[in-house]
Amino acid sequence: MVFNGDIYMTALSIIVPDELAEDSSLIAKKMHISRSQFIRLAIENEVKAFRLMKEQEDMVVGFKALKEQASYLDEINDIEQLDVHLKDEGEFWWKK
């Protein structure tokens, strides 16, 4: 483990196809960063994407569970039955 500024970093050794290694070097050079930095960014992006996907899957599970609760469905039905019309304050009402 290496301390870099305010974070600890772990060294990894990975084996990738030659073409991927070459592509990562070329892209990193065009981005004016090291290949290590490029690979760190790629891993960070994949981790963020995975976490977002899991969060969305969990939300779907939650919404499905809500749809099966009678009390939730009753409350939604009550809200839909309301016949409330808000005063039309026009465009840019917040600037008044």
| 70 pLDDT more than 90 | no
Give me the sign of the Cα torsion angle 80, 85, 86, 89: positive
Mean pLDDT of 49-74: 91
Using DSSP, state whether 51 is helix, strand or coil. helix
| 96 pLDDT more than 70 | no
Q: What is the pLDDT of residue 85?
A: 66
pTM comes to: 0.64
| 87 pLDDT more than 70 | no
- Contact in structure between 30 and 41 (CB atoms under 8 Å): no
Whole-angstrom distance, CA of residue 33 vs CA of residue 27: 9
All structural domains of the chain with their residue ranges: 2-83
Q: How confident is the model at residue 60 (pLDDT cuts 50, 70, 90)?
A: very high
Mean pLDDT of 1-30: 91
Q: What is the pLDDT of residue 56?
A: 96
